[in-house]
Amino acid sequence: MSIHPIENRYGRAEVRKIFDEESKLQKILDVEAALARAHAKLGNIPNADACQISKKASTRHVKLARVNEIERVTNHDVMAIVKALSEQCGDSGKYVHLGATSNDITDTALALQLKEFLNFLSDDLKNLKKVLLGLAKRHKKTVCIGRTHGQHAVPTTYGLKFAIYASEVQRHLDRVNECKQRLLVGKMTGAVGTQAAFGKNAVRLQQEVMKELKLDSALVSNQVLQRDRHAEFMLDLALISETLNKIATEIRNLQRTEIGEVSEGFGKKQVGSSTMPHKRNPIYAERICGISRVIKANAFVALENIPLWHERDLTNSSAERITILESCILTDYILNLSIDLMKNLVFNHKNIERNLRMTPQVMAESVMIKLAERGMGRQDAHELVRKCAMESYSSKKTFREILLKNPKVRKHLTEKELDSALDPEKYIGTAVEQVNAVVRKLKN
């Protein structure tokens, strides 16, 4: 019986599998096997016993059902795995888990899980960036109204919007890559970090284990890897989710009936409402926004996990069993949802044009700059155009009519020059060049 929505509604099967109990058990067994082989390499245990442990350190032999059965008696998950593995190894079982504490195994196994997940995460971000760059390139000359404070501001382009998003996604890729050196780390340091139980070659033993597992060795730790590493990662996931939240929120706003510039794709048999047959709701965008809240909340939990008592306590453990796998699975899910959303965006160019020309006063800045170029002081030009704009709001005359009748405006600008300054298509500055620069820089 499934309980959590990630079991049957949210999340991709291949990513869920990384964090399921069977896969987690195998990663723990992989660490136990690497520890045994490192002991043998250093002459701490016979090589034959290390080979036997490695052979049996598989879920083909160590069954999850047996581990759970033992845990019901021991009330200790790692010890249950140690016992289940030892049962399979015969006399060699006496060397299983030699010198290790639970978190030597579980923290290192978690690093293996996260290493596998990061491959998916990086691919997701690259795929989203590619889609956004494609949109930026296709719509670099699609002029639309820009909005600040929810109000019409000055013209911009859809290409510039998408280029900004693509640049943000690239920063997330950079953060993820930078995080790896601190996150993909394992340890073999024992009960409080002194490595006392591993003997005189303990430092080398840790190095050998991590070399086999293709992880870095912690420089120093106590009973656990310090949780600033995991908090950084969870904050990275939260940052990614908030970018997706931002993009989805913009799509939701632009899909408002009154704006109607872009909208989600809508399937032929898709239902928007159980009672209103006409509805075409932005359900993907809303789902992205909603799930991002969970990922952000989990990042706060990760911060709370940093201050543990003395050499460690268990307050982080129970929380991490929920938050880490949840945030990983959900981040991957909304990244792929965002890719689909952006691939299937529908543009209503008629409404884009309508909204662009709905508020002629948005060209006030353009007129002000043109007047300043022709010799009027910038502050004087600002006040002159401001008054003309305010008058146009309260009168039946158009902004153009009021400007044309103003003697100071006509002194500096001809009617043709004024019309040019009032054309939103001609007031997008370097937007196209900026998009081209972003596409060139980020295309690889």
**Which residues are designated catalytic?**
149, 273
- Separation between Cα atoms, residue 15 and residue 11, nearest integer Å: 7
The phi and psi torsions of 441 (rounded to 5 degrees) equal -70, -35
Q: How many CB atoms lie within 10 A of CB 165?
A: 24
- Separation between Cα atoms, residue 57 and residue 109, nearest integer Å: 13
Q: How many CB atoms lie within 10 A of CB 333?
A: 23
What are 121's two structure tokens?
């995460």
Strand pairing class (262-263; 346-347) = antiparallel
- Separation between Cα atoms, residue 359 and residue 345, nearest integer Å: 26
What are 107's two structure tokens?
């923290």
- Separation between Cα atoms, residue 190 and residue 104, nearest integer Å: 7
- Separation between Cα atoms, residue 397 and residue 156, nearest integer Å: 26
Question: What would the 3-class secondary structure string for 108-149 be?
Answer: HHHHHHHHHHHHHHHHHHHHHHHHHHHHHHHCCCCEEEEEEC
